[in-house]
Amino acid sequence: MTQITNETEFRRVLDGLDAERQRAVAAQFVKHILPLCDDERIARVTDVAASEDVSEDRLAEALRTAKATMTDCHARCGAEGDWKAQAGYFVARAAVAALTPAGQLPGGLAWQAAMSSRMAKTCESIVTGEDLAGRESTEQYRILTDYLNS
């Protein structure tokens, strides 16, 4: 049984997955932090990302929706920053990564989804004061482990 327990392993395994499997794992990462995003569009597109046997068109449409949500949610330059809202932005960004076709994002789409998901947790931690990002990495190792062994 494969166990992912550190960052190097995590990265290496993600890199080795094909595009479809990367998308499936990425969707799991996003689902885990979904509560941090108020926008219901992200919940919908994450479901699409998580579906098996989904058409290219549906994926493309979901990606467009995710991108639209992401640009709606980002912090405006010079405006008073709201870290809670910013968490939502990173959830959207993770969803965008999960739906992006292979080869377009440096580091791979699953890696980017994982990073953005952790960012969302960091934003939450800035609001609550707890150290949550580290915990999220551990959760992601668990998610990947479960996926590989399923």
Residue from 38, 75, 84, 102 binding other proteins (CB under 8 A): 75
Binding track over 112-141 against other proteins, x by CB under 8 A: ---x--xx--x--xx----x-xx--x----
d(CA 139, CA 126): 19
> 138: exposed, middle or buried (C-beta count within 10 Å: 0-12, 13-18, 19+)?
exposed
Q: Which is nearer to other proteins, 47 or 82 (CB)?
A: 82
Enumerate residues 6+ apart whose C-beta is below 8 A from 123: 36, 83, 84, 86, 87, 90
CB of 150 to other proteins, least distance (A): 26
> Is the C-alpha dihedral spanning 60, 61, 67, 71 positive or negative?
positive
Q: Please, which residue, 67 or 149, has the CB nearer to other proteins? A: 67
Quick one: 139 or 150, whose CB is closer to other proteins? 139
CA angle 47, 51, 56 (to 5 degrees): 105
Where do we find the tokens 């739906």? 99
Q: 89 to 108, contacts with other proteins by CB under 8 A?
A: 89, 100, 103-107
Residue (35 or 81) nearer to other proteins, CB: 81
Alpha-carbon gap, residue 140 to 28, rounded angstroms: 9
Q: Which position among 86, 92, 143, 144 is part of the footprint of other proteins (CB under 8 A)?
A: 86
- Residue 19 in the binding site for other proteins (CB under 8 A): no
3-state SS assignment for residue 46: helix
Contact residues for other proteins (CB under 8 A)? 7, 60, 63-64, 67-68, 70-71, 74-81, 83, 86, 89, 100, 103-107, 115, 118-119, 122, 125-126, 131, 133-134, 137
